[in-house]
Amino acid sequence: MTVYAIIGGTGLTQLEGLSLKDAIELDTPYGAPSAAIQRGEFAGREVLFLARHGHPHRFPPHQVNYRANLWALKQAGAEAILAVNAVGGIHAAMGSGHLCVPHQIVDYTWGREHTYFAGDIEHVTHIDFSHPYDEALRLKLIAALQALGYAYSSHGVYAATQGPRLETVAEVAKLERDGCDIIGMTGMPEAALARELDLPYACLSLVVNPAAGKSSGIITMAEIEQALHEGIGKVREVLGRVLVS
């Protein structure tokens, strides 16, 4: 059986319902991952869990050591990755609480350590990234969402922005013109690094606010926290359903 790893984002630094067996402390050639990898049973199945921002939350999106995180998960035995990301909604369908299983990415991040193919290597490898997410994993997430009856979108273009600040109204308008549906700060380089390590990877995005300019007011942390609080239970249920599928 495939060993799944869940990468929890903001609002999911701990996987409630995980009966912990051990915490795996690993170092990697790229430094330490954000936290110890938790191994345990969730929905009756052995899984690995890593808090992307550390536990407690301490690494902002641009300072997460994505290379160490993915490397450590692979070392710990992960064979497929389910990533959870909180996002802002651009498309009209992406209101707070909506769940999206993106199918494409546009990467606007900069200055992050974004590849394992760097330094003194004999061959630069250009991974194919036409379809950044693993389709079989995406379909599992979609089937779980369908079965649970939650409002969701089976497709979406994820704009990965640098953060940690949120965007301006003009930036969101540009992302929309670029064809993006949701915005998050952690989708890249995570997805590409997973591909470099040959780890199937898919993302479950929870919309926690309308993006800048998509509502009448400004975006507040209170609003984001409230949406996370309300939505994270749904995320856990979807993950549980995927694991038993």
105 binds ligand HPA (CB under 6 A): no
Stretch that binds ligand HPA, among 22-30, 96-104, 126-134, 204-212 (CB under 6 A): 204-212
Interface residue with ligand HPA, options 166, 194, 228, 232 (CB under 6 A): 166
* Cβ pair 172, 212 in contact under 8 A: yes
Q: Provide the annotated binding site for substrate.
A: 185, 209-211
Smallest separation (angstroms) from ligand HPA to the CB of 116: 25
β 4-8/45-51 pair status = parallel
211 binds ligand HPA (CB under 6 A): yes
Tokens of 219: 């975006």
Distance CA 228, CA 232 (A): 6
30-69 positions binding ligand HPA, by CB under 6 A? none
**Cα dihedral 103→9→46→3 (10° resolution):** 40
Nearer Cβ to ligand HPA (47/208): 208
Q: Which residue minimizes CB distance to ligand HPA?
A: 88
Q: What are phi and psi of 169, to 5 degrees?
A: -60, -40
Q: Give the closest residue to 212 by CA, choosing from 224, 201, 203.
A: 224
Stretch that binds ligand HPA, among 13-21, 69-77, 95-103, 205-213 (CB under 6 A): 205-213
Smallest separation (angstroms) from ligand HPA to the CB of 219: 6
Beta strand residue intervals within the chain, DSSP E: 4-8, 19-24, 37-42, 45-51, 80-89, 99-100, 104-107, 152-153, 157-160, 182-184, 201-210
Using CB under 6 A as the binding criterion, the count of chain residues that bind ligand HPA stands at 12
Nearer Cβ to ligand HPA (78/182): 182
Smallest separation (angstroms) from ligand HPA to the CB of 100: 12
68-97 positions binding ligand HPA, by CB under 6 A? 86-88
Q: For ligand HPA, what does the binding mask look like between residues 176 and 195, x meaning CB under 6 A?
A: -------xxx----------
Q: Does residue 210 have a cis peptide bond before it, meaning omega lies within 30 degrees of 0?
A: no
Nearer Cβ to ligand HPA (141/166): 166
Beta strand residue intervals within 90-240, DSSP E: 99-100, 104-107, 152-153, 157-160, 182-184, 201-210
Nearer Cβ to ligand HPA (37/208): 208
Q: Note the residues at the interface with ligand HPA (CB under 6 A).
A: 86-88, 161, 166-167, 183-185, 208-209, 211
